Structure 1
Amino acid sequence: MPARVHALLVVRPDGRTPAAFHLRRTLAALTEQTRRLDALTIVVCGADANVYQVAATSQAESVITAPASTRYADAARMATARIRDADAVWLLAQDTAPEPEALARLAGSLELSPSVAFVAPKLVRWDDRTQIVSLGVSMTRYGRAVGLADGDFDQGQHDVVEDVLGADVRGMLVRAQVWRDLGLDRALLGADEGLDLGVRARLAGGRIALVPRALVAVSGDGVAGLPAPQNAARRRRIGFAVRTAQLHRRLVYANPIAVVFHWLAVLPLAVWRTVVHLVRKEPGLIVPEWGAAFIAWLRVGAVFRARRRIAAHRSVPWSRLAPLRVSQARLRERLDDEPDEGIGGYRRGELRFFAGGGAWLVLAAIVASAAVFTPLLAWSALGGGGLEPLRSAVVGLWADAAYGQRAVGLDTVGPADPFSAIIAILGTLSPWQPSRAIVVLWLAALPLAALGGWFAAVRVTERSGLRITAGIVWALAPTFLIALTQGRPAAVLVHLLLPWLFFAASVAHRSWSAAGGASLLLAAVLACAPSLAPAAAVLLAVAIIVAVVARAGLGLSRLIWLAVPSVALATPLAVHAVRTGDGWGLLADPGPAWNGPQVAADVGGRALLAAGIPTSDLAGWATILPDGPTWWVPLLAAPLALLALMAPLTQRWAVGAALLLVTAVGIATAFAAVGVSVAFAQSLPVALWPGNGLSLAWLGATMGALVALDAGLAPRVEAIRAAGAFLVAVAVAALAAPSATALARGTALIEVGGVSTLPAYVAAEGRDDPDVGTMVLTPQNGGGVSARVVWGGSETLGGQATIVTTRTIPSAADVEAAEIAADLMTSTDDDVVGRLASHGIRFVLLAPAVAPESDAARTLKLTAATSLNQRADLDAVGDTTKGSLWRVTVDVADRAAEPTTARTTAGLIAAGQLAVVAIALLLAFPTAASRRVARRTPRVVGPHWQERR
Structure 2
Amino acid sequence: MSSTDSPRLHHSVTAIVVSHDGARWLGETLDALLAQTRPVDRAVGVDNGSRDGSAALLTGVLGPKAVLTLPRSTSFGQAVAKVLDRLGPAGGREWIWLLHDDCAPDANALQALLHAADADPKAGVLGPKLRDWLDRRILLEIGVTVDRTGRRDTGLEAREFDQGQYDGVRDVLSVSSAGMLIRRDVWDEVGGLDPFLPLFRDDLDLCWRVRAAGHRVQNVTQAVAWHAEAATRRRRRIVVSGDHPRRLDRRNAIFVVMANLPFWPLMWALVRNLAGSTFRTLLFLMAKRPADALDEIVALGSVLGHPRRMTKARRARAKGRKQNHAAVRRLLTPPGAGYRRLSDRLQSYLAGTGFVESAGRHHAVTSSQEDGEELLTDAGGMQRVFGNPGVLLFLALAVVTLIAERGLIGGTRLGGGALVPVIGGSSDLWDLYLEGYHQAGLGSDAWAPPYVAVLAALSTVLLGKTWLAVSVLLLGSVPLAGFSAYVATRSMIPGRWTRIWLASSYALLPVATGVVAAGRLGTAVVFVLLPLYAALATTLLAGDGRRARRAAWGLGLLLAVGTAFAPLVYPLTLVLGALAALAFPRRGVALSVVIAFGVPVALLFPWLVQVLGDPGRLLLEAGLHQLALVDAALPAQSLLTLSPGGPGMPPLWVTGGLISACLAALLMRRNRMVIAIGWGVALFGVLVAVLVSRTPVTSLNGDAVAPAWPGVPLAFAATGMLVVAALTADRIVEFRAAGGLRRLTAFAVVAIAFSTPLLAAGMWVVKGVQGPISGNVPDVLPALAAVNSRGGERTLLLRTRQDGLTFTVLRGRLPLIGESDIPMRQAARERVGVAAAGLVSGRGADDADVLATYGVQFVAVAPPISPEISHALDSQPALARMSLSRTLGVWRLTQPIATPPVPAGDPWHDRWLWAQAAILLVVSVLAAPGSRSGSADGHTLQDPSEPVRELAPR
TM-score normalised per structure 2 = 0.53
Paired position in structure 2 for 1:759: 782
Partner of 1:286: none
1:536 aligns to 2:573 (yes or no):
yes
**Residue 721 of structure 1, CA deviation:** 5.9
Q: Does residue 1:862 correspond to 2:836, yes or no? A: no
CA distance in 2, matches of 1:658, 1:882: 56
Map 1:126-137; keep pairs closer than 5 Å.
Answer: none
Given that residues 612 and 637 in structure 1 are in contact (C-alpha distance below 8 angstroms), is that contact kept between their aligned partners in structure 2?
Answer: no
Structure-2 separation of matches of 1:480 and 1:907: 37
Structure 2 counterparts to residues 862-881 of structure 1, below 5 A: 862-871=867-876, 873-879=878-884
Residue 676 of structure 1 is matched in structure 2 by 695
Matched-pair contact (CA < 8 Å) for 1:470–1:702: yes
SS of structure 2 residue aligned to 1:842? strand
Q: Secondary structure at the match of 1:845?
A: strand
Does the residue aligned with 1:789 lie in a helix, a strand or coil? strand
State the one-letter code of the partner of 1:843. Answer: F
Q: Distance in 2 between matches of 1:828 and 1:374?
A: 48
Q: Note the C-alpha offset of 1:441.
A: 3.6
The secondary structure found in structure 1 opposite 2:649 is helix
- Check whether the contact 1:408–1:788 (CA below 8 A) recurs between aligned residues: no
Structure 2 partner of 1:526: 563
Query: Compared with structure 1, are the counterparts of its residues 640 and 491 closer, same or farther at alpha carbon in structure 2 (3 Å cutoff)?
Result: farther
| 707-716 vs 903-912, greater mean Cα deviation | 707-716
Q: Which residue is equivalent to 1:653?
A: 672
Q: Could you list the per-position Cα deviations for residues 587-640 of structure 1 after superposition, in whole angstroms to 9, with x for gaps in the alignment?
A: 3223112224444546xx12211111122789343xxxxxxxx8x556344323
Matched, 1:801 2:821: yes
Flag structure 1 segments of 5+ consecutive residues without an equivalent: 1-350, 622-629, 805-809, 850-857
Give the superposition deviation at 1:709: 0.6
Structure 2 residue corresponding to 1:516, chosen from 538, 553, 564: 553
Which residue of 728, 731, 743 maps to 2:756? 731
Give the residue type in structure 2 aligned to 1:916: I
The change in CA–CA distance for 1:910 and 1:387 in structure 2 (over 3 A counts) is same
Equivalent position amino acid for 2:591 in 1: S
| 1:876 partner SS | strand
1:646 and 1:572 map into 2 onto residues whose CA distance is: 48
Look up the SS of the partner of 1:758 in the other structure.
Answer: coil
Matched, 1:612 2:646: no
Q: Does 1:458 align with 2:477?
A: no
Label 1:634 to 1:463 Cα distance change in 2 as closer, same or farther (>3 A).
closer
Taking structure 1 as reference, are residues 736 and 355 closer, same or farther at Cα in structure 2, changes over 3 Å only?
closer
CA distance in 2, matches of 1:759, 1:722: 61
Alpha-carbon distance in structure 1 between the residues aligned to 2:873 and 2:846: 13
Cα displacement (A) at 1:383: 2.2
Deviations 1:322-351 (A, max 9, x none): xxxxxxxxxxxxxxxxxxxxxxxxxxxxx9
2:794 aligns with one of 758, 773, 776: 773
Whether contact under 8 Å (2:616, 2:698) holds in the other structure is no
Q: Give the SS at the match of 2:948.
A: coil
Deviations 1:6-51 (A, max 9, x none): xxxxxxxxxxxxxxxxxxxxxxxxxxxxxxxxxxxxxxxxxxxxxx
Measured at CA, do residues 616 and 773 of structure 1 come closer, stay the same or move farther in structure 2, by a change above 3 Å? closer
The residue that corresponds to 1:709 in the other structure is 729
Q: Map 1:442-453 to 2 at 5 A.
A: 442-453=474-485
In the alignment, is residue 666 of structure 1 matched against residue 685 of structure 2? Answer: yes
Contact 2:526 2:565 in 1 (8 A): yes
Alpha carbons of structure 1 residues 566 and 375: separation in structure 2 relative to 1, 3 Å: same
Task: Report the Cα offset of residue 562 of structure 1.
Answer: 0.9
Partner of 2:899: 894
Matched position secondary structure for 1:382: coil
Counterpart position of 1:940 = 947
- What is the 5 A alignment of 1:559-570? 559-570=593-604
Following superposition, the deviation at residue 896 of structure 1 comes to 2.9
Please name the residue that 1:593 is paired with.
625
The equivalent of 2:470 in structure 1 is: 438
Tell me what 1:112 maps to. Answer: none
Q: CA deviation at 1:352?
A: 9.2
What's the offset of the Cα at 1:730? Answer: 1.5
Query: Do the aligned partners of 2:796 and 2:808 also contact (CA within 8 Å) in 1?
Result: yes
Question: Partners of 2:881 and 2:528 in 1: how far apart?
Answer: 46
Which residue pairs with 1:698 in the alignment? 718
Pairwise CA distance, 1:404? 4.0
Question: Structure 2 residue aligned with 1:907, among 899, 906, 910?
Answer: 910
Q: How does 1:210-609 map to 2 (within 5 A)?
A: 357-402=389-434, 404-406=436-438, 409-508=441-540, 509-510=543-544, 511=547, 512-547=549-584, 549=585, 551=586, 553-576=587-610, 582-601=614-633, 605-609=635-639
CA pair 560-880 structure 1, distance change in 2 beyond 3 A? farther
2:928 aligned partner, one-letter code: F
The answer as to whether partners of 1:589 and 1:689 remain within 8 angstroms in 2 is no
Look up the equivalent residue of 2:639 and give its one-letter code.
Answer: L
Q: What corresponds to 2:858 in structure 1?
A: 843
1:791 matches 2:811? yes
The answer to whether the 8 Å contact 1:461/1:710 transfers is: no
> What is the Cα deviation at residue 532 of structure 1?
3.0
Query: Do the aligned partners of 1:427 and 1:437 also contact (CA within 8 Å) in 2?
Result: yes
The AA in structure 2 aligned to 1:563 is: F
How many pairs were matched up? Answer: 557
Aligned residue type for 2:874: N
Q: Which amino acid aligns with 1:591?
A: G
8 Å CA contact retained: 1:673, 1:690? yes
Question: Partner letter of residue 649 of structure 2?
Answer: A
Cα offset, 1:527, TM superposition:
2.1
- What does residue 147 of structure 1 align with? none
Amino acid at match of 2:689: A
Cα distance in 2 for residues equivalent to 1:445 and 1:780: 31
What is the letter of the counterpart of residue 521 of structure 1? L
* CA spacing shift, 1:763–1:493, aligned 2, 3 Å: farther
2:768 partner amino acid: L
Compared CA separation, residues 944 and 542, structure 1 to 2 (3 A): closer
> What's the counterpart of residue 303 of structure 1?
none
Partner of 1:160: none
Deviations 1:749-804 (A, max 9, x none): 322234744223445566x87x4422122335455x33332334113332112645
Q: Residue deviations 1:98-149, cap 9 Å, x none?
A: xxxxxxxxxxxxxxxxxxxxxxxxxxxxxxxxxxxxxxxxxxxxxxxxxxxx
Instruction: State the SS of the aligned residue for 2:882.
Output: strand
Judge conservation of contact 2:779–2:814 (CA < 8 Å) in 1: yes
CA contact (8 A) 1:655 1:942 kept: no
Against the structure 1 CA distance between its residues 735 and 443, is the aligned structure 2 distance closer, same or farther, given a 3 Å change threshold? closer
* Pair 696,883 (structure 1): closer, same or farther in 2 beyond 3 Å: farther
Shift of 1:539: 0.8
Q: Which whole-Å CA distance do the structure 2 matches of 1:677 and 1:407 have between them?
A: 30
CA distance in 1 between partners of 2:885 and 2:927 (Å): 50
Give the CA deviation at 1:467. Answer: 1.4
Q: Quote how far apart the aligned CAs of 1:435 are.
A: 2.0
> Aligned partners of 2:753, 2:842: CA distance in 1, in Å?
66
Inter-partner Cα distance in structure 2 for 1:597 and 1:828: 34
RMSD of equivalent CA atoms = 3.5
Whose relative contact order is higher, 1 or 2, with alpha carbons under 8 Å and at least 6 apart?
1
Contact 1:460–1:940 under 8 Å retained in 2: yes
C-alpha distance 940-666 of structure 1, shift in aligned 2 (>3 A): farther
Shift of 1:673: 0.7
Indicate conservation of the 8 Å contact 2:474/2:525, yes or no. Answer: no
Q: Helix, strand or coil: the match of 1:878?
A: strand
User: How far, CA to CA, are the matches of 2:942 and 2:949 in structure 1?
Assistant: 16
Q: How far does residue 678 in structure 1 lie from its aligned partner after superposition? A: 1.5
Give the whole-Å Cα distance in 2 for the aligned partners of 1:839 and 1:762. 16
Question: Deviation string for 1:445-498 (max 9, x for gaps)?
Answer: 332122112113213223111111122111211111122123222222221111
SS in 1 for 2:504: helix
1:432 shift after superposition: 4.3
What is the aligned-residue identity percentage? 24
Q: Is the 8 A contact 1:497 1:525 kept in 2?
A: yes
Contact 1:588–1:802, Cα closer than 8 Å, also in 2: no
Using the alignment, how far apart are the partners of 1:612 and 1:457 within structure 2? Answer: 21
| Counterpart residue identity of residue 799, structure 2 | T
